[in-house]
Amino acid sequence: MQRYFVAIKNLLNSTGGASANFLKLVMLLVAIFCYFSPPAAAQDPLSLMLKFPAVRIQAGEPLTLKVYFYNEAQTGFSGALPENLSMRLRSADENATLVTAVETGESTPTDIAPGQFTVKDYSLEVPASFAGPVEIFLLGHPESTLLLNTVAAQPVAQKTEAEPDHAAAPEYYPTLESLFSLYQPYVVNFSAYEPMYFLVGTDPAKSKFQISFKYRLFNPSGSLSQAFPWLRGLHFAYTQTSFWDLASDSEPFEDTSYKPELFLLSSNWKNRPRWLQGLFFQAGVQHESNGRGEGFSRSTNTAYLKPILVFYHPGSALGLQLSPKLLTYFNNDDATNPDLAEYRGYSEFEIKFGQATGLVSTTQLRFAAKGTSLQTDLTYPISKLLKSNFDMFLHIQYSNALAESLISYRDRSESLRLGFSFVR
């Protein structure tokens, strides 16, 4: 493994500018994931047909549908079927939204002979605002359009004779999102990435907040994803971490790290041990800078490989996640932070443990030549304390770290922070 990262570093330090090195690394990552997930044989896309249960469909409640995958190609299909399917729902009154159907069983490689089909179960929830005839359109498969009849989630009040005729007129777009989704068919590709929080330090000068998201670049049910399954794991991500001095009169931001990222995330490893519920591999490249000029400028670039091991007990909802991470630096700003690697290190280790519906502890360790850095986060759902009325987490963070911020990366800072998080 060490030789592998030395090879990456030598590649990145070869002649060429930042853009050339970035392209080299992207090509290297593609090669790695081609090895992890061998592509299926080139072929025409599978045809899909949806079949809902022959029972009354209740809006606002989960239901299971069957999806038939038919191989129309002249050659056999071999590979993984989509883990989720994006669908557009439209009611008779033109109300529309996007939903995602998620597979209910374990994803395993599938072989489909020419002219044959296989069936897979997915779970879906029709929004409570939908009632009556509903058209379901499977994104990427225009031939798979289905008309359903749904029962309203709540009884509709009867119009009295005293009411004017327009009183019972349907509410075409009850929310902004129902109209917004008509013009944003790709919004389903957005999801949370790193934790998102706002924390005030016991020393207010050390307050901190972070936002983070990722975007899936390829349609998982598209022809390219069917031919090359690893493309489903290609993501763009962005994380921003700001250090806020709330003790000063003007409350300035002491430093902010801007971290765009391109990474590949594998599906659950098929040959993992039975006692391991999840085994994933993530590899990526990340740029980090503080967006400042002259002597205050800091920037670096890293390439990393991170296996993710997940242990989970469904009965107790207890889980344990172990994530070792190896990284190397390239195109580091040697004018302003030449020795950043001595304070950040080349290896990290994350341990996350807790109950899915309760307390979760996350500990991050960084190992560097100048010393070890530690950050521990404790989160607990506030909804448990407020009768499910507030969807946030109570968040406590302790940090004793070198290079927590880029501006003062040589200094060790210790802080205790308290606040709220939206994603933990």
The pTM for the full model equals 0.67
Q: Which two tokens stand for residue 19?
A: 């853009």
Its domain, for residue 175, covers: 47-157+167-183
- Residues 70 and 109 both lie in one domain: yes
| Confidence (pLDDT) at 169 | 44
Q: Is 144 annotated as a binding residue?
A: no
Q: Is 412 annotated as a binding residue?
A: no
Q: Is 299 annotated as a binding residue?
A: no
User: Is there a domain that residue 42 lies in?
Assistant: no
Q: Report phi then psi at 75, rounded to 5.
A: -115, 160
| Confidence (pLDDT) at 322 | 98
- Residues 101 and 148 both lie in one domain: yes
| Rounded Cα–Cα distance for residues 287 and 257 (Å) | 10
- Residues 412 and 314 both lie in one domain: yes
| Confidence (pLDDT) at 135 | 79
- Residues 102 and 196 both lie in one domain: no
User: Is there a domain that residue 393 lies in?
Assistant: yes
Query: What would the DSSP string read from start to end of 300-351?
Result: EEEEEEEEEEEEEETTTTEEEEEEEEEEEEES--TTT-TTHHHHH-SEEEEE
Nearest alpha carbon to residue 280 among 249, 244, 310, 246 = 310
Strand partners, 244: 207, 253
User: Is there a domain that residue 388 lies in?
Assistant: yes
User: Is there a domain that residue 162 lies in?
Assistant: no
| Rounded Cα–Cα distance for residues 305 and 50 (Å) | 38
Contact 84, 100 (CB under 8 A): yes
> Would you call 161 helix, strand, or coil by DSSP?
coil
For strands 253-265 and 278-289, give the pairing: antiparallel
Contact 117, 76 (CB under 8 A): no
CATH number of the domain bearing residue 51: 2.60.40
Contact 5, 236 (CB under 8 A): no
Angle of the 2-12 helix axis to the 18-36 helix axis, nearest 10: 150
Number of domains in the chain: 2
- Residues 85 and 112 both lie in one domain: yes
| Confidence (pLDDT) at 44 | 43
Last residue of a domain, one of 183, 218, 237: 183
- Residues 62 and 175 both lie in one domain: yes
User: Is there a domain that residue 101 lies in?
Assistant: yes
Report, in angstroms and rounded to the nearest whole number, the Rg of the chain calculated over CA atoms: 25
Which residues form the catalytic set? 287, 289
User: Is there a domain that residue 280 lies in?
Assistant: yes
User: Is there a domain that residue 77 lies in?
Assistant: yes
- Residues 192 and 316 both lie in one domain: yes
- Residues 226 and 315 both lie in one domain: yes
- Residues 84 and 214 both lie in one domain: no
DSSP 8-state code for residue 155: P
- Residues 144 and 194 both lie in one domain: no
Residue 1 burial (CB count, 10 A): 7
- Residues 402 and 306 both lie in one domain: yes
| Confidence (pLDDT) at 7 | 54
| Rounded Cα–Cα distance for residues 393 and 2 (Å) | 39
| Confidence (pLDDT) at 170 | 44
76 alpha-carbon distance from chain centroid? 32
Q: For the chain (length 424 residues), average pLDDT per consecutive 10?
A: 55 52 54 49 62 72 84 82 83 73 81 87 83 78 71 57 48 67 80 96 96 93 85 96 94 95 94 93 98 92 98 91 98 95 98 95 98 98 85 96 96 97 96
| Confidence (pLDDT) at 339 | 97
- Per the listing, tokens 């469904």 go with 314
- Residues 150 and 254 both lie in one domain: no
CATH number of the domain bearing residue 304: 2.40.230.10
User: Is there a domain that residue 326 lies in?
Assistant: yes
